[in-house]
Amino acid sequence: MYFATIIFSIALLGIIAMIVSKHFEIKGGKKYFLLRLADTTDYIFQTTYTKARFVISHINKRNAIAFVQWIAFHILSFFRTLYIHIREAAHRHPHSKKVIDMVTGKIDVNQNGGASFYLKQIAEEAKK
């Protein structure tokens, strides 16, 4: 209850202040500083509005889907390039290459080695 009263009072004071400032502006003939600011920056908002309206008017369902696909392509190609770079860096070191080959099943797993039970079981099933 009090919150609504406070907001109403603030809005009423703002309206009264705008009316009084407009009265003095008309009576004195001097522009209020906000009006002068709006006059000098109006072209910025006008060009922004025009460009935004142009872009929005040319967006349809097909263009929106194509744009989303374009963004997804660039994101996925970035991650693919990153993966290839990391994979090549890992393959440059013999130990990392051996571990990667072991996990992908390109190398026989030594029964006495430090591989997990799951990998040993996969190696046994692959030999059968």
Write the pLDDT tens digit of every residue in 8-52: 999 999 999 989 988 888 888 887 777 778 888 889 999 999 999
Residue ranges per structural domain of the chain: 1-58
Cα 28 to Cα 13, 14, 16, 66, 105, distances in angstroms: 22, 21, 18, 57, 88
Q: Is the pTM of this model over 0.85?
A: no
Q: CA 88 to CA 91: how far, in whole Å?
A: 5
Question: Tens of pLDDT along 67-94?
Answer: 899 999 999 999 999 999 988 888 888 8
